[in-house]
Amino acid sequence: MNKSVKEKSAKEKSNAFFDALTCTSVQVYPFKESSGKTKAYARVVINEQLQLTRLRVVDGVNGFFVSYPIDPHNKGEDYQSVFYPLNKEFREHVEQCVLEKYQEAIHV
């Protein structure tokens, strides 16, 4: 089997899997006053089956983004996320859903 055919079928599988995952509920809790870069916490439910909590809306150098919770018991120099999306498409989907709710919440 040709390498490009293998890569294509793996990408198609990834896209098919992503199509099955969606944010079915998003709740955002903006801080009334924030002196740091974190502007809100968020909770996301995926397919009414899995709840992701303690996501953070962060105001970074290049604009807002969603940060995932880090392991508070990690003793290494690097941060280690407790959970995180494994592909770009799903990360962008979650980020878009959370940031849309954040914008709605702060413009009420």
- 99 is in which domain, residue-wise? 22-106
Q: Does a structural domain hold residue 56?
A: yes
Question: Is 43 part of any domain?
Answer: yes
Q: For residue 41, is it within any domain? A: yes
Q: Which of 28, 34, 50, 49 is nearest to 107 (CA)?
A: 28
Q: How many domains is the chain built from? A: 1
Q: What is the pLDDT of residue 12?
A: 55
From first to last of the 108 residues of the chain, give the pLDDT tens digit: 455 555 555 555 545 555 688 999 999 999 988 779 999 999 999 999 999 999 999 999 999 999 999 888 887 777 788 898 999 999 999 999 999 999 999 987
The pLDDT score that the predictor gives to residue 17 is: 53
User: pTM to 2 decimals?
Assistant: 0.78
Q: Are strands 63-67 and 50-60 parallel, antiparallel or unpaired?
A: antiparallel
- Residue 14 phi/psi, 5-degree rounding, is -60, -45
Residue with tokens 């969606």: 22
Tell me the residue type at 90: F
Please report the pLDDT score of residue 33 as a whole number.
85
The reply to whether 17 falls in a domain is: no
CATH of the domain at 85: 3.30.1120.40
Query: If we measure between CA atoms, which residue out of 23, 13, 64, 63 comes closest to residue 46?
Result: 23
Whole-number pLDDT of residue 16: 54
96 occurs within a structural domain: yes
* Residues 21, 47 contacting (CB under 8 angstroms): yes
